Homo-oligomer: A and B are copies of this chain.
């Protein structure tokens, strides 16, 4: 009984994700589903990318949170089209929520939209949103064992960002173990090491985001 209900929800989600995918394609929008633990640096990474790419692309941000508009306000302040989804307790975004906000979202065609999912390394990986790519952000202080514990998240990732590398000297983070875990689950996923604080590593990430946008418009 429970399983049946769950399957219905997943089927319905996939159908709506297909609708979103079509909408994004028609409008030459690249949607990036950004997933991470609470506090890994989703908002900071998106903010840094938008700032660095502001003259090369248009942007929009869809903010997913249980509660609050703290992060959405940051993007509004710098003039980026942003819409907030408060899940009211829900642990992930779903395709229907994205569909619901796209109608009134004043984002330009040919934009890159960052969809900042609820901070959670579990549930968001199961729900396609119709995004072009899934980005998982890990951070050095969380520890190198995350790929081993949150396997479906790292399997789902199209690419991975390892943030807060500036803190590496103060933390016992085993880089080899981290990479080994990702390679075992997801051999093709690129990994970018960055620090939102110092800015290191962002040049390569910025180039990659532009490449993804150009590829997805083809």
A203 CB, nearest partner CB in chain B, Å: 23
Considering only residues 113-157 of chain A, those with a C-beta below 8 Å from chain B are: 118-123, 126, 139, 141-143, 145-146, 148-152
A contact residues, total (Cβ < 8 Å): 39
Chain B residues, Cβ within 8 Å of A90 = 122
A14 within 8 A of B: no
- Copies of this polypeptide in the complex: 2
CA distance A145 to B91 in the complex (A): 17
Name the one of B2, B118, B119, B152 contacting A66, with C-beta atoms under 8 angstroms: B152
Mark interface residues in A26-64 (1 if CB within 8 Å of B CB, else 0): 000000000001111000000000000000000000000
A70 CB, nearest partner CB in chain B, Å: 6
Mark interface residues in A57-93 (1 if CB within 8 Å of B CB, else 0): 0000000011110100000000000000000011100
Chain B residues, Cβ within 8 Å of A167 = 141, 167, 170-171
Chain B residues, Cβ within 8 Å of A151 = 66-68
